[in-house]
Amino acid sequence: MVKVIKSKLTSGGPDRFIPEDWAGALQSHAYELYASLAQEPPRITQFGCVTHFRRKIVDAIKAGDADAIPFFDLIAQLYAIEKDATARGLGDAQRG
C-alpha cells in the first residue's frame, strides 16, 4: 500500500500525518522533515522523487561527472515509458 500525503509541512514533522500503526511505502520529495521516517524501518519504506534525482544527476553531469551519464539515460528511458503509457491511455492499474 502507498500512502499519498500532499501537504505543505511547516512544523511538527511528517509523523503527525501518518498513524502509528500504518506501514507501507511512502514516496516523498527531499524535504528534510521526511528524513525522520527513514529511522523507522521496517514499518515505512521511503523512496524519493525521480525529478529530484534527475536534477542531481544533471548537476553531476554539468560538473563533469561522466559516471552520472548512464543514470541520466535510464531516467530518460523511464520517462519514455511513462510518455508511451500516457499516450496509450493506460491507467494506474495497467501501468503496474
DSSP 31-66: -GGGGGGGGSTTTEEEE--HHHHHHHHHHHHHTT-G
Report the share of the chain in percent with pLDDT over 90.
38
Confidence of residue 95 (pLDDT cuts 50, 70, 90): confident
Question: Is a pLDDT exceeding 50 seen at residue 9?
Answer: no
Please name which of 30, 29, 37 lies closest in space to residue 13, comparing C-alpha atoms: 37
The per-residue pLDDT for range 51-69, each reduced to its tens digit, is: 888 999 999 999 999 999 9
Residues 70, 80: Cα–Cα separation, whole Å? 15
Q: What is the pTM of this model?
A: 0.59
Measured in whole angstroms, the distance separating CA 95 from the mean position of its chain's CA atoms is: 17
Nearest CA to 27 out of 47, 7, 3, 52 is that of 47
